[in-house]
Amino acid sequence: MTNDVLIRKSGRAGRITLNRHDALNALAAAMAAAIENALDAWRDDDAVKVVILDAKGQKAFCAGGDIAELYANACAGEYDFGRTFWRQEYGLNLKIATYPKPVIVFMQGFTMGGGVGLAGHASHRIVGESSKIAMPECGIGLIPDVGGSYLLGRATGETGVYLGLTGTRMAAEDAIYAQFADHYIPENTWDDLKSTLVRNGDVAVIGTVAQQPTGGTLAALQPEIDRLFCAPTVQGIHKSLVEDETEFAQTAVKKLAKGAPLALACALQTIRAARGGTLVQALTREFRYAYRSQEQGDFIEGIRAQIIDRDFTPKWRHSLIDVPEDEIAQMLVGLGPQDWTPTGDTL
């Protein structure tokens, strides 16, 4: 496991490199703990001016959490494994967001789910021509977590609702538009940029090499997104999409149909609740759903259908239009002493 994430100091930088490229750098529990330990060690180390977070392989920065690890434990009834992992992971997400030194992340290829949790809260978020960023959790019975509801809640208009409910992938320009990234820099220059950061620890160089990406679609679609995703319920959004004859609406309704209805309903609430709130508040709401997702939600069935058996025919607990309000509320109500709370060294 120690080779799954490479941690070292180089020049003025602390270096963290995900090294599970054969598994799309999926984030396992031990990897998250190792990253957190490194950040703790460098917090007061005057030799470390910046932290560089990157990954081996061309296909992905990090395609998400280690779903197979979570699934195996959940099937065995070991629900506390996932709960412990999510509790620690969310603390790491907050630690990155509040870290007192610049954290520069390079997101090639897929950055999804847990990968967004690592990258989306960094101070300097760099994308390139291969970047594909998404929060597709509803398709496996979860909701956008790892602070994803907070990021989605900051997007313009109903963009975050659209991205969170459909799991749509964003290339570089759209990721910057939706505030999931900050800078587009061609990937063939990344090594030179990292070398400069290692040498002088000065993040000002990032702005001098950043370029304007092209090819995005979200800005042009904003009026349609706001019109079609403004309803207060998933049922209302689904109705708007079905009744609209545009190509965008018909594509969106097909994507929406792939999500677990309970997850979609709870995702809508958490994304909208995150607007104007704090990251801590968003993580607290997300943890309540994640904590219950194995026993009371569709997490196990979603993983079985999408990842393990790959029959892509999950048997969800509800249809798209029949999720009772009391069940939605039950998934998001406080957990009492089991609620997620930030630790003192996280803030």
Q: Does residue 343 sit within a domain? A: no
The Cα–Cα gap between 330 and 319 comes to 18
Per-residue pLDDT, 346: 47
Q: For 210-265, what is each residue's pLDDT tens digit?
A: 999 999 999 999 999 999 999 999 999 999 999 999 999 999 999 999 999 999 99
Q: Does residue 345 sit within a domain? A: no
Q: Does residue 70 sit within a domain? A: yes
Q: What is the mean pLDDT of residues 18-35?
A: 96
Q: Does residue 177 sit within a domain? A: yes
β strands within 199-300, DSSP E: none
Q: Does residue 347 sit within a domain? A: no
Q: Does residue 174 sit within a domain? A: yes
Q: Is the pLDDT of residue 2 over 70?
A: no
Q: How many structural domains compose the chain?
A: 1
pTM: 0.95
Kindly report the average pLDDT of the chain as a whole number: 95
The Cα–Cα gap between 68 and 75 comes to 10
- Here the tokens at position 13 are 């930088």
Q: Does residue 57 sit within a domain? A: yes
Quote the domain boundaries for residue 151.
2-338
Per-residue pLDDT, 347: 43
Place of tokens 């709960």: 83
Q: Is the pLDDT of residue 17 over 80?
A: yes
Q: Which residues have CB under 8 Å from 66's CB, separation 6+?
A: 23, 26, 27, 28, 29
Q: Does residue 64 sit within a domain? A: yes
Domain of 320, CATH number, reads 3.90.226.10
The Cα–Cα gap between 82 and 65 comes to 11
- Here the tokens at position 64 are 């998400």
Percent of the chain as helix, strand, coil, to the nearest 5: 50, 10, 35
Q: For 102-126, what is each residue's pLDDT tens digit?
A: 999 999 999 999 999 999 999 999 9
